[in-house]
Amino acid sequence: MSNSRKGVKLFYDVISPYSWLAFEVLCRYRNVWNIDLTLKPAYLTGVIYGSGNQPAGANPSKLMYMVSDLKLTSEYFGVPMFRPSSISEKDSLNAMRFVTAIAEKGKDGDTLERVSRELWKRKWRTQQDITQPASLTDAGLKAGLSANEVEEILTLSKSQPIKDKLKSVTEEALEYRVSVYLYPLSFPLKCLCGKNIIKHPYTIFFPFLQCFGFPFIVCNVNGKAKVFFGSDRFELMAYFFGEKWVGPQPDKPTVQM
C-alpha cells in the first residue's frame, strides 16, 4: 500500500443506485487505500440537464438494461437492492437538500454517511418514499439523529442558503472539463444548440464537460487529479493510486493481484 495520502471526492445523489455502489466501495477502501474521502451531495437532475444528457427513463432500452444490470451488480458488490416501482427525476430534490443540510450543519462524516445510506435503503431496497418530511425524519432517526436534530435539519433544508449550496455543489461537478485537440475533420462539429463549434480542421475547441451523471469521482494524489464516472472504474482508480484492487469487498477478495 502506498504511504501517500490520497484525496477522493464523491459527487452523488441518492436517486442513483450506482452512486450507492460507489459510495460503499469507497467507504470499504478508505483505510485500505489510505484515502481522505469527501462526500459531495449534489442534484443528479441538475447535472443531467446541465450537461445535455438524458435521464435513464427517457430511453426504454437503457432503463430495461439498468434493471437487469442492477440485479447482478448489487449481488457482486454485496449491496442488496431492488428497482423501485416508479422513478421520478425530481424524487431526490428534498432528500438531497436534507443531506446537504446535514453536511452544512457540521455533523461528523459518519452521520452524513449513515443518513445517505438510509435514504438509499429506502429508495432502492425497501421501495419507500424519500420525498416527504416524514420519510426524511424516519431516515434521520434510523441514522442515529435525535428527533430535535431531525426537526432542526428539516427546517434548515428548506432555507435559501441550503438550496444555494446544493446548486453550487452541483455546478462544481459541472466545472470539471477537459481540453482535447481534434484531428482533421471532414465535417463541422455541432454543439447541442445546432451551431458549428468547429468550422475547419485543426481548430482546438472549448473544453468538454467531464461530468454528465453520477457517481462522479475526483481523485487527487501528489498534485495530480483524475476524474472517473460510474461504479465500474475502480481498477483504473487503483492503477492511478498505485494500489491493488481486490474486488468490491476487500475483506472478501475476489481477485488476486
- Burial string for 70-107 (b: 16+ CB within 10 Å, else e) reads beebbeebebebebbeebeeebbbbbbbbbbbbbbeeb
Instruction: State the catalytic residue, choosing from 16, 19, 92, 231.
Output: 16
| 3-state helix vs strand vs coil in the chain, percent to 5 | 45, 15, 40
From CA 63, how far away is CA 61, in angstroms rounded?
5
Does 16 qualify as catalytic in the annotation? yes
AA identity, residue 243: E
From CA 6, how far away is CA 222, in angstroms rounded?
8
Would you please indicate which residues are annotated as catalytic (active-site) residues? 16
